[in-house]
Structure 1
């Protein structure tokens, strides 16, 4: 596509009107005559680098001495498509569809100059090797992560509950949401959504933070510092091999049984403690009870004596009453023998009959008095006897109670001694409780260890899966695999044909860690000679890469400066390569004035390969004007041979 560059008062150039874009434009001149100025002016304008990294004060140096302003104007492919840069302000004005070049095509950048850590990123951009969703799915499938369920099913499940994909959620939170809506977790889909939003590196950073949180949780569960190796075979202190075959349900059942046994032992111990308390209380009262027993015995004996005395007094009163004569005039009984009157008397001494005699009223009155007195004494004797009987019965009961209390206390003393002897050997209920408590503690510890290991192992699996995902997302993961695959194609289909056309050694971008650039199998850094300048092999490598990436990007031309480092064969090879690649180029080479005079500078227009310009006194002119020739200088077929001055 034809373009024209009109340069005025730029650096050491006064003026130059250069046709370019359809074939090779060769810029020839002696040293320090403006070849690089042309390359620099066009490159800066077309690649949006008009300031060339200079400060405002430095921009004044881009204007030719003696001129107030300078400019670079690029026109084409139609007059309406223009790009104008005016100096010293480096102001840019565009119209239509002006010439635009990538920085590589313009000669500003080369992947060779990139640091090893940024080279993969830049290559991925240039080669468009960012993995597709299927590449990500394939990489994750190698780690057991399936691309399932499908995205439409996930969206449908979320819509049913009024929810939608939330990129702010962590992977764990998203997994929880998927469980709530009743659908499986598709890590591939979640990652692809994150990558679309954040990019590969930021998605990896998000997961690195989540992994860091998982590592902290693992440390909390394990109670020790995290270690990438230890998490795979970690076990709590005290872990035994049989726990590896145990289940949470089984250990929980064992714990429940141990707790039930402890409750029973504690209950029994509580009962025994109550008994001990009662026994100690009884034993503590034994002396008092024994004293009370002796007192009760004495009272019983006293009551018994009193009762006997009361009984004797009653008997005496009864005899006294019975021995008194009648208090009334007795009619008597008729004696069957003498038919006289007799009295039948029953006395303590026995029964007898007495002759019935008539007594006086005074005697009868006295008898009545005596009988009344005897009756009173008999009644008192009876009352006293009744009271004595009651007191005796009460004393007997008290004595019986005292005896039973003493017997109970003595039995308590004996039992207490037996129980205390058992406890001192730790074989009684106290020992049972201790053993039960130890059994519960052991069961709790076993269950806790199994649960801790289960949680730690679960977190370890999550951490491992997260590390695998981060590895896939990282620079050395899926992107590197895709880049290596595309680089293989790029080396064979892009670089190899260019090198073959030029007759140069193969240029390759190796798929090693550093993505080393080689020429003929030798690393680029090993191609250099002595001093800061690049070698011809390094130049060849740069040109091949520049043309390949420019062609891949669709750049309309490339700008190659300082090509005079190549010998004649190398130059011919470069021209052949550019022609065969169909890549228009601006090529700057140093030639001597003698070469111009002797017509040793190839006229590319005459060879129908492009055009040639000669710069002298700050002015660029077509080579035919510079030599004053009406016919072109002869050119070697199929490309011109150029000879350095």
Structure 2
């Protein structure tokens, strides 16, 4: 970007500046407060729309010179004309509005700007300056060129949104998981050398493993059937054993029940005697049995019969009625035996009730004895039948012993079958184990390679080197031309001058470093334009070195336009300046023409 003309009206300290650019290097000198920095701010406003000294557009009116009604900046370049007008009300009219300025412009307009960036911002700026692509696609292409696994590369790219460190960690985690998978397959701790070509030990058996396995399986099958038969036999024996036990218990109960017959009969006789006695007592007492409603009638008939016999005998009619009297006497005697004298007076109600309760008890006892006797006699009859076919208690110990032996032999044959089957399939499993181990080992290697590629010493280092190598090479060349200490940008984006950290340098050392960086950025960006303010921090020799350096790079065609601003006591005469440098004096915001300076000097 070659500048041809600069015109500034009423912007800050620059009240009336009309400057044709006639040489590649233009030195603007003046006393403090003359308006030099205002010219730099005016150029920046025109080319980048930066307001410089205010942060908001609403404050733009503050940039007008005191008493001015408007400010105007016009910059003519080889590319186009730039014009900005600020009204007294602060309205900004920008002829280049909508045009995106070159991203390197802020750094060639403000020499110290690059040094103020953070390490990350410097890296980003340099990548953009040199056109180094940092997109995921570009990183993927770099990883592909390194021969890294395509699928794994695609898997890690989304993680890179969080930065290279996140991608590196993800790859390391995947490598760690692959190591764990390798250990699970092999049963050994992972090692790079061990895993390379790893194979398990081979296992051999005497004879054909398949035949041996089939024989063992056949034996196991036979024993399985035999064991099923023994289990059925044992189940039947235990069932018979249970039945015999129940039979013995039944016989024992029947023996006990049948042995009670005589005792029950005695109890029955006693109960019947007691009942008969109670009936006799009740008859003698004249009590009527409420359960026998005809007892009263029988008593009356007995009394009448007794009286009739007495009358017959008194009347001498016995001979004529002998048979009738004998039958009546027999019945009457039976009645007296059972019920007492029919002509006796009945006993009292209390005694009668007592005799009745005793009769009820006796009759109940007799009924119970009859029931028990029937049950005992039935038990005796059942016992006779059971004793005709006695049951023996079967034994299960022998069956259980044979079953346990068969089960032990089955377990042995099954173990042999497994062993021979494992031996028969060992080759196939061994091949699969080797394949799995190899695959996991390759995963470890590939993920580790991706982690290395995403580490600070991998792709990042390559990209940084691509950004830094041309910049450092140009910085070294220009430092040699200016006879200054070399300036260098390290991989960590730190700036050094003569090997010292930029932050520890003096003001003059920092100015030299900033100047070298600014010119290098101007050359690499293709702008070929720079503004260097405050050259007065250098001593006389330092200024001469700076001007001669700028003259040489202009002579070489590396730079088109450089504006140098310096606080000096007077403008250096043209004869004292190197070639390609024009000198101008600024006083109270106004450019003093060269011929006027010449007249004043005369």
Question: CA distance change for structure 1 residues 417 and 545 in 2, over 3 Å: closer, same or farther?
Answer: same
Q: What is aligned with 1:610?
A: 581
Question: CA distance change for structure 1 residues 272 and 451 in 2, over 3 Å: closer, same or farther?
Answer: farther
- Verify the 8 A CA contact 1:51 1:59 in the aligned structure 2: no
**Per-residue deviation at 1:543?**
0.5
Q: What is aligned with 1:71?
A: 72
2:468 is the alignment partner of 1:487: yes
Moved more, 29-38 or 611-620: 611-620
Q: What is aligned with 1:113?
A: 116
- Verify the 8 A CA contact 1:28 1:35 in the aligned structure 2: yes
Question: CA distance change for structure 1 residues 455 and 232 in 2, over 3 Å: closer, same or farther?
Answer: closer
Q: What is aligned with 2:200?
A: 245
- Verify the 8 A CA contact 1:82 1:96 in the aligned structure 2: no
Structure 2 residues without counterparts, runs of 5 or longer: 191-197, 249-387
Question: CA distance change for structure 1 residues 50 and 439 in 2, over 3 Å: closer, same or farther?
Answer: farther
**Per-residue deviation at 1:489?**
4.3
CA distance in 2, matches of 1:146, 1:124: 26
- Verify the 8 A CA contact 1:74 1:84 in the aligned structure 2: no
| TM-score of the aligned structures, taking structure 2 as reference length | 0.58
| TM-score of the aligned structures, taking structure 1 as reference length | 0.54
Within 5 Å, give how 1:448-463 maps onto structure 2: 461-462=442-443
Larger RCO: 1 or 2 (CA < 8 Å, sep 6+): 2
1:107-143 CA distances to partner (integer Å, 9 max, x unpaired)? 166432222233333222223344899997786676x
Q: What is aligned with 2:93?
A: 91
**Per-residue deviation at 1:74?**
1.0
CA distance in 1, matches of 2:52, 2:519: 24
CA distance in 2, matches of 1:283, 1:84: 119
2:524 is the alignment partner of 1:552: yes
Alignment coverage as a number of residue pairs: 436
Question: CA distance change for structure 1 residues 209 and 506 in 2, over 3 Å: closer, same or farther?
Answer: closer
Q: What is aligned with 1:506?
A: 486
Question: CA distance change for structure 1 residues 465 and 105 in 2, over 3 Å: closer, same or farther?
Answer: same
- Verify the 8 A CA contact 1:602 1:612 in the aligned structure 2: yes
**Per-residue deviation at 1:434?**
10
CA distance in 2, matches of 1:568, 1:476: 44
Out of 483, 488, 504, which is 1:526 matched to?
504
Question: CA distance change for structure 1 residues 285 and 76 in 2, over 3 Å: closer, same or farther?
Answer: closer
Q: What is aligned with 1:587?
A: 564
Q: What is aligned with 2:41?
A: 40
Q: What is aligned with 2:267?
A: none
Question: CA distance change for structure 1 residues 20 and 480 in 2, over 3 Å: closer, same or farther?
Answer: farther
Q: What is aligned with 2:493?
A: 515
Question: CA distance change for structure 1 residues 471 and 281 in 2, over 3 Å: closer, same or farther?
Answer: same
Moved more, 519-528 or 3-12: 519-528
**Per-residue deviation at 1:504?**
0.7
DSSP-derived class of the 1:542 partner:
helix
CA distance in 2, matches of 1:53, 1:246: 79
CA distance in 1, matches of 2:599, 2:4: 25
Q: What is aligned with 2:59?
A: 58
DSSP-derived class of the 1:14 partner:
strand
- Verify the 8 A CA contact 2:181 2:440 in the aligned structure 1: no
**Per-residue deviation at 1:75?**
2.1
Out of 230, 236, 239, which is 1:272 matched to?
230
- Verify the 8 A CA contact 2:46 2:84 in the aligned structure 1: yes
Q: What is aligned with 2:127?
A: 124
Q: What is aligned with 2:476?
A: 496
CA distance in 1, matches of 2:494, 2:233: 91
- Verify the 8 A CA contact 2:182 2:440 in the aligned structure 1: no
DSSP-derived class of the 1:245 partner:
coil
Question: CA distance change for structure 1 residues 64 and 131 in 2, over 3 Å: closer, same or farther?
Answer: closer
Question: CA distance change for structure 1 residues 58 and 468 in 2, over 3 Å: closer, same or farther?
Answer: farther
- Verify the 8 A CA contact 1:204 1:470 in the aligned structure 2: no
DSSP-derived class of the 2:105 partner:
coil
Question: CA distance change for structure 1 residues 65 and 449 in 2, over 3 Å: closer, same or farther?
Answer: farther
**Per-residue deviation at 1:280?**
2.5
- Verify the 8 A CA contact 1:74 1:82 in the aligned structure 2: yes
Within 5 Å, give how 1:406-445 maps onto structure 2: 413=395, 416-421=396-401, 427-429=405-407, 432=410
CA distance in 1, matches of 2:35, 2:189: 84
Moved more, 604-613 or 28-37: 604-613
**Per-residue deviation at 1:564?**
0.5
